[in-house]
């Protein structure tokens, strides 16, 4: 399971309209990770973590943004959980380029394309609220969390 930026934002922010759903969904995935300690169950992509921190600490998005320490603590807490791993940038360029050209991507989807390319390269399933990923990812690599 690879969470998207919006799933992590909603899971952390109590004032997010989908907090309960996102938090419960993430907790359920972490519980699964405890049951399967031999393989990572939750993969945090570097691009997702940076986007998450950029959004939750942004005063233009939240009236009372999270502090940088709160955002980093949230990520660190996830990373301390069994079955959670951090996946930094790697060789996603070929997949990223192909998806950009295939989807004739608009600028506002560039980060999503990188996330999708990473997800495909790792053979993961992206968990998100964001329906835009239906345009980018095959159904078998996408789990839309219902609102």
- Where exactly are the structural domains of the chain? 2-144
* CATH architecture label of 2-144: 3-Layer(aba) Sandwich (3.40)
Q: What's the whole-model pTM score? A: 0.76
Residue 99 pLDDT > 90, yes or no? no
- Cβ contact 78:100 at 8 Å: no
Residue 105 pLDDT > 70, yes or no? no
Residues in the chain: 147
The reported pLDDT for the residue numbered 102 is 76
The reported pLDDT for the residue numbered 65 is 93
Q: How far separated are the first and last CA of the chain, in Å rounded?
A: 18
Q: Write the secondary structure of 9-37 as one string of H (helix), E (strand) and C (coil).
A: HHHHCCCCCCHHHHHHHHHHHHHHHHHCC
Q: What is the pLDDT of residues 29-77, one digit of tens each?
A: 999 888 876 766 899 988 888 889 989 999 999 999 999 889 999 999 9
- Cβ contact 82:12 at 8 Å: no
Residue 16 pLDDT > 90, yes or no? yes
Q: What percent of the chain has pLDDT over 90?
A: 47
The reported pLDDT for the residue numbered 104 is 66
The reported pLDDT for the residue numbered 68 is 86
For the segment 116-121, the average pLDDT, to the nearest whole number, is 88
The reported pLDDT for the residue numbered 95 is 77
Mean pLDDT value across the chain: 87
């Amino acid at each position: 399971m690879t969470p998207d930026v919006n799933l992590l934002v909603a899971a952390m922010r109590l004032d997010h309209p989908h907090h309960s759903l996102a938090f419960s969904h993430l907790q359920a995935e972490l519980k699964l990770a405890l049951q399967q300690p031999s393989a990572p169950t939750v993969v945090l992509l570097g691009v997702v973590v940076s986007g998450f921190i950029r959004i939750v600490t942004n005063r233009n998005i939240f009236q009372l943004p999270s502090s940088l320490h709160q955002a980093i603590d949230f990520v660190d807490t996830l990373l301390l959980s069994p079955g959670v791993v951090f996946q930094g940038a790697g060789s996603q360029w070929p997949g990223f380029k192909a998806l950009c050209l295939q989807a004739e991507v608009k600028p506002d989807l560039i980060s999503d394309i990188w996330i999708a390319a990473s997800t495909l390269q790792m053979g993961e399933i992206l968990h998100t609220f964001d329906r835009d990923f239906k345009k980018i990812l095959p159904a078998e690599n996408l789990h839309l969390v219902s609102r």
